[in-house]
Structure 1
Amino acid sequence: MRGKRVTDSEVTTAKVRSIKQWSPIWVVPLAAILVGCWMLYNHYQQQGALLTLVAADAEGIIANKTQIKSRSVDVGQVVSVELSGDLKQVIIKARMKPAISAMLNQDSQFWVVKPQIGRAGVTGLDTLLSGAYIELQPGESEVEQRHYQLLPSQPAAPADAPGIRVMLSASDTSGLAVGDPVLYRGYEVGTVEHSEFNLGQKRTEYQIFIREPYDSLVSENVRFWLSSGFSFDLNAEGLQVDIASATTLLSGGVSFDLMQGWPSGKAVDNGSEFQLFPNRQRVQEGMYNDYVEYLLFFDESVRGLKSGAPVEYRGIRVGTVASVPFFFSIEKPFEVSLQQGIPVLIRVETGRLYENLSKKQLKEELNKAVAKGMHATLKPGNLLTGALFIELALNNDPVFVESQVSLLAEQRLLSDSAGYPMLPSARSGFSNIEQKVLMALDKINNLPIEQLLLQGDKTLQSTDALMQSASILVKQVDALLTSPQLQQLPQDLQQSMQQLQAMLAGISPGSPAYDRLDSNLQTLDQVLRDVQPVLQLLNQQSNALFFNAETAADPEPKRAKP
């Protein structure tokens, strides 16, 4: 069945009319768009800042799992871990919580916390089960920052910690590492924070931190040196033993202090530079930077004399041995050693004598002393090690013989050509003793030994004859002693002694002869008493035997004159 065909005359045209009235149906999509925008805005507001951390590797760091903490509180999370464009570094993206935006500034520091064993002990044991995490240490700067370098380990001190940071520079600092303690008279006051080798200067540079209030101890005159825990030095001055604290006994560290007698000086600023000495002894040697150098020539062995040995004058150290031997600027050193002696360079230091002494004044005084006979000799400093030191002696007597005058002139010319003044030297006491022994041996060698031996032979022959005569004499004496006449002699002597004893018994007290002799002596005594007045009279008047003696009147005392 076919439909009816519509003709063109039957087609009518539709009329289009625009609707000017707003339709309520558009409220729904507009509301959906607004809700979506608000949710998106709220989502980003709740997410916080996005940080970029750059690290050498990503050991222990996992995207969407590794947390970022500050004082054991979660403040963010790692969202991605990727390699950098040059494939040399790791780029770590981390989303932080909104509340910690103030902690993200220029002084903030990030590092990975994981189990480690170091000089400070065992750290990060709590991450064995929970896994590694990133620690945030906020700073106090007001400049915001979103890009950081991830530190491999915890810094020694916070960037905002109160204290002072100074730089140390040394040519040889083996054994010193980051984390080692900084000591003041054995007490720990800081830590070594950073170390770096300066390739241009070929020196190691260290940054140390000294916490408050000990930062006030750091002044312009303090000196820093390595503390190895235990050290000893056996030199010409003896055995020196230095035992530090138990902290540095295993790990070492850095010590600082003022040298004895030095003023403290002015306070220093952050970043000030100091020299790091190998030990305290080098600090004391480095205090004397002004000196006058002299060249010596020794015609004896210098074994035991080393660089750094003391130069003394009457037991007081006035300088230091600089080089043994010294062949710089000297041509034909072997020939010089054979003819002029071993050259040794010494330094006489102004600071060891007295303050405010200039090098010019020191040189003038030394020249006057040399003119008066000052010379240098080698002295033993330690008999166990054989270490030597140089002693300056002042002697008004002539030290050198005439044969050495030409040698001294050659030494002076050689010293002038090397650019140093020459100081005369003499043999030490041990060398003089050796020389005297050799001279004594030469005298013994020059003795007429053969003549002495011939005379000794003759003397022995004469002694042999004398001994034979003495043997004959002994035989004769023996025969005399064994003769009957000599045997009878003791009996005769005994009889004579008995007779002598009997005679002495006849005149002993109690015998008649002794009593008669005693009576006669008493009578003689009485006679002498009776004759005594007559003798006195004759002494006064010698003619009293022929004329009558006049009786003298008794003396009368006289009255004293008024």
Structure 2
Amino acid sequence: MTDPQDSPADYPEATVVPAKRLRLSLAWLVPIAALTVGALLIARTVMQTGPTITIAFRTAEGMEAAHTEVRFKEVVVGKVTKVALSPNREQVFVTVKLDKSAERLAVEDTRFWPVRPRVGLAGVSGLGTLFSGAYIGVDAGVSKEDRQLFTGLEAPPSQLRGEPGRSFTLAAQDLGSLDVGSPVYYRRAQVGRVVGYTLDPARDTLAVQVVIAAPNDQLVTPQSRFWNASGIDLTVNASGLTLDTQSLASVVLGGVAFANPADAAPSPPAADGQRFELFANRKVALAPPDGPPLRVRMVFDQAQRGLVVGAPVDMLGVELGTVRSIALTQAPKSDQFPVEVVADIYPLRLGSVRRQFGASGDGAGRADALFMKRAVDHGLRAQVRSGNLLTGQLYVALDFIPKSPAATLDVRTDPPTIPTVRGTLSDLQPQLADIVARLSKVKFDEIGNDLQQTLRNASAAGNGLQETLTSATAAIRQLTPEAQRTLADVRQTLTTAQATLANLDRNVTQGDAPLQRSFNQALAEMQRAAQALRVLSDYLQLHPESLLRGKPADADPTKPTEGGR
């Protein structure tokens, strides 16, 4: 049995209930607006704030948080916000807040360094930091990779990016008086500066960094030679005294100079960062290539005081090398101690002469040994000679000594031994000893006594001469009146002679003088007589019979006769 359905009338009537509305009070508008403005300000601040980076330095000398600035091209681009010690206490970490405009400085290859006051012979750098304090310099990088941790430099880089010019590295055996800021000269004009130096343990040298400013950097070629122009180069050797200096500034500050050899072929400029050797002086730098040296040994049986290491080794006026070492050695089976001299010679300096003795190639190995052997066979000997009597310096001369004892190059020793002969000074010493011995035999005491007696006689003769002069003076005084009368007579005689000469001039030299006319007439008569003699001579040549027969009555001496044709 089912329940009957309910009719609509059985349901209750529905009641409409209106929904409740959320009403916002006006008081909430103020905090909402404040939150919106704050969010916008925060977003703007974040957008305008530059990156934060950390720089590691060895020391934080002069740096202070909230005071030390970061400058790029002398424009402040950031500020130090924190200075802290690294965990291993070997470095300091400097936190820097960069400006928004400098955010592109926080890239991979940007360089940072502290700028502090630096006082040196070249001058004072960073003088402004004495008042404003130290700051951090920046050299902007060109990388596209961002970076937050950097390792700072302890000194300014040798060359900033974009700075015109080129940097080069010079390998030096000794720094001398060079320092950061020392000038670099070309033909005594400053074209660059020394920007730093470091030790190069791998090459056992000093690496000196120099920068040549544009456009003078084009002067540096792969053939350029650099030398240390510091101070005064004073050399005393067998050639005498040599003084060389680049400029007054280089004397005080030190300096580097460079030049291109005169025979260097034209070449493009050297590449940036190219390495050159720094020579000791100009002479060594510009010397032609010597090739590898040939080391030789010479043994002298006499003292060689005045011969020093570095003394030249000369061959017929050409400097072949220098003395490398001087030492005493003991002669075999003898108690003598000869002097052993080891020298480095450069056979390439002989040029074509070397080739005439059979040597060839680049100056190395057996070619030069063969050259030296043949030269010794032809009479080459080593001899110590005086190079400068004033300084007493000696040098080694390799010369062809005539009538020298036969000898050969001793190749059993290392290095080979060149035979020697006694120096010229050894011959001079016996001569000087002989002169001294002869002088010692001179009786200087007797000579002195004779000289004193001669002086006494001369003094007595002088006294007699004085008496004679006194008597002569008195006689002259007595003769003075007579001498005056004699002079008057002489004047009168001279006047008469002058009048006579004037009269003679009027009668002889003038054209209308009687004597002149008579002389002219005599000359005319002589001319006529000479003409008559010529006519007579011609007639006799034509009529020699006239000397026997006489002159015909109708004969004209000026015309030839029929028989005389």
Same fold (TM over 0.5): yes
Within a 5 Å distance, the mapping from 1:268-279 to structure 2 comes to 268-279=270-281
CA contact (8 A) 2:53 2:106 kept: no
* Aligned residue in 1 for 2:348: 351
CA contact (8 A) 1:231 1:241 kept: yes
Confirm whether residue 398 of structure 1 aligns to residue 414 of structure 2: no
* Aligned residue in 2 for 1:502: none
In 2, the alpha carbon distance for the partners of 1:90 and 1:156 equals 24
Using a 3 Å threshold, how does the CA distance of structure 1 residues 33 and 351 change in structure 2: closer, same or farther?
A: farther
* Aligned residue in 1 for 2:391: 385
In 2, the alpha carbon distance for the partners of 1:47 and 1:82 equals 22
Greater shift after overlay, 214-223 or 358-367?
358-367
- Displacement, 1:145? 3.7
In 2, the alpha carbon distance for the partners of 1:103 and 1:116 equals 26
Using a 3 Å threshold, how does the CA distance of structure 1 residues 242 and 35 change in structure 2: closer, same or farther?
A: same
Confirm whether residue 148 of structure 1 aligns to residue 188 of structure 2: no
Using a 3 Å threshold, how does the CA distance of structure 1 residues 72 and 393 change in structure 2: closer, same or farther?
A: closer
1:14-38 Cα distance to aligned partner (Å, 9 max, x none): xxxxx99888689988776665444
In 1, the alpha carbon distance for the partners of 2:302 and 2:148 equals 73
The match for 1:290 among 288, 292, 296 is: 292
In 2, the alpha carbon distance for the partners of 1:337 and 1:46 equals 94
In 1, the alpha carbon distance for the partners of 2:219 and 2:334 equals 51
In 1, the alpha carbon distance for the partners of 2:132 and 2:123 equals 20
Gaps of 5+ in 2: 1-18, 442-546, 551-561
SS in 2 for 1:385: coil
Using a 3 Å threshold, how does the CA distance of structure 1 residues 293 and 123 change in structure 2: closer, same or farther?
A: closer
CA contact (8 A) 1:107 1:159 kept: no
SS in 2 for 1:431: helix
* Aligned residue in 2 for 1:342: 339
Confirm whether residue 421 of structure 1 aligns to residue 416 of structure 2: yes
Using a 3 Å threshold, how does the CA distance of structure 1 residues 258 and 99 change in structure 2: closer, same or farther?
A: same
In 1, the alpha carbon distance for the partners of 2:217 and 2:178 equals 21
- Displacement, 1:348? 3.2
1:212-266 Cα distance to aligned partner (Å, 9 max, x none): 2122222222222212132211111211111222322211022222234333555
- Displacement, 1:78? 1.2
Using a 3 Å threshold, how does the CA distance of structure 1 residues 23 and 162 change in structure 2: closer, same or farther?
A: farther
Using a 3 Å threshold, how does the CA distance of structure 1 residues 34 and 431 change in structure 2: closer, same or farther?
A: same
Confirm whether residue 174 of structure 1 aligns to residue 176 of structure 2: yes
Using a 3 Å threshold, how does the CA distance of structure 1 residues 57 and 159 change in structure 2: closer, same or farther?
A: same
CA contact (8 A) 1:224 1:254 kept: yes
Q: Which amino acid aligns with 2:424?
A: G
Using a 3 Å threshold, how does the CA distance of structure 1 residues 312 and 78 change in structure 2: closer, same or farther?
A: same
Greater shift after overlay, 211-220 or 343-352?
343-352
Confirm whether residue 367 of structure 1 aligns to residue 369 of structure 2: no
Q: Which amino acid aligns with 1:341?
A: P
- Displacement, 1:80? 1.0
Q: Which amino acid aligns with 1:371?
A: D
In 2, the alpha carbon distance for the partners of 1:143 and 1:555 equals 151
- Displacement, 1:82? 1.0
Gaps of 5+ in 1: 1-18, 450-552
Using a 3 Å threshold, how does the CA distance of structure 1 residues 174 and 262 change in structure 2: closer, same or farther?
A: same
1:105-154 Cα distance to aligned partner (Å, 9 max, x none): 44433333343322332233433443333333434454444433334444
CA contact (8 A) 1:50 1:94 kept: yes
- Displacement, 1:435? 4.2
In 1, the alpha carbon distance for the partners of 2:224 and 2:334 equals 43
Confirm whether residue 432 of structure 1 aligns to residue 427 of structure 2: yes
Using a 3 Å threshold, how does the CA distance of structure 1 residues 194 and 117 change in structure 2: closer, same or farther?
A: closer
**Alignment identity in percent?**
30
Q: Which amino acid aligns with 2:379?
A: G
In 2, the alpha carbon distance for the partners of 1:292 and 1:130 equals 62
* Aligned residue in 1 for 2:192: 190
Using a 3 Å threshold, how does the CA distance of structure 1 residues 93 and 175 change in structure 2: closer, same or farther?
A: same
In 1, the alpha carbon distance for the partners of 2:145 and 2:335 equals 73
TM-score normalized by structure 1?
A: 0.65
In 1, the alpha carbon distance for the partners of 2:295 and 2:132 equals 67
CA contact (8 A) 1:258 1:264 kept: no
Confirm whether residue 318 of structure 1 aligns to residue 324 of structure 2: no
CA contact (8 A) 2:158 2:167 kept: no
In 1, the alpha carbon distance for the partners of 2:131 and 2:337 equals 77
Greater shift after overlay, 263-272 or 64-73?
263-272
Count of residue pairs the alignment pairs up: 422
Greater shift after overlay, 172-181 or 233-242?
172-181
SS in 1 for 2:221: coil
Using a 3 Å threshold, how does the CA distance of structure 1 residues 250 and 441 change in structure 2: closer, same or farther?
A: closer
Using a 3 Å threshold, how does the CA distance of structure 1 residues 337 and 428 change in structure 2: closer, same or farther?
A: farther
In 2, the alpha carbon distance for the partners of 1:223 and 1:338 equals 50
Q: Which amino acid aligns with 1:184?
A: Y
In 2, the alpha carbon distance for the partners of 1:340 and 1:371 equals 27
Q: Which amino acid aligns with 1:133?
A: Y
In 2, the alpha carbon distance for the partners of 1:140 and 1:313 equals 60
CA contact (8 A) 1:221 1:264 kept: no
Using a 3 Å threshold, how does the CA distance of structure 1 residues 159 and 149 change in structure 2: closer, same or farther?
A: farther
Using a 3 Å threshold, how does the CA distance of structure 1 residues 132 and 343 change in structure 2: closer, same or farther?
A: closer
Q: Which amino acid aligns with 2:198?
A: E
In 1, the alpha carbon distance for the partners of 2:125 and 2:108 equals 27
Using a 3 Å threshold, how does the CA distance of structure 1 residues 261 and 382 change in structure 2: closer, same or farther?
A: farther
SS in 2 for 1:173: coil
Q: Which amino acid aligns with 2:233?
A: S
In 1, the alpha carbon distance for the partners of 2:205 and 2:283 equals 20
Using a 3 Å threshold, how does the CA distance of structure 1 residues 193 and 116 change in structure 2: closer, same or farther?
A: closer
Greater shift after overlay, 289-298 or 102-111?
102-111
- Displacement, 1:305? 1.6
State the superposition RMSD in angstroms.
3.9
Greater shift after overlay, 432-441 or 260-269?
432-441
In 1, the alpha carbon distance for the partners of 2:118 and 2:294 equals 54
- Displacement, 1:169? 1.9
CA contact (8 A) 2:51 2:106 kept: no
Within a 5 Å distance, the mapping from 1:451-530 to structure 2 comes to none
Q: Which amino acid aligns with 1:399?
A: S
CA contact (8 A) 2:158 2:209 kept: no
CA contact (8 A) 2:331 2:338 kept: no
Q: Which amino acid aligns with 1:418?
A: T
CA contact (8 A) 1:297 1:340 kept: no
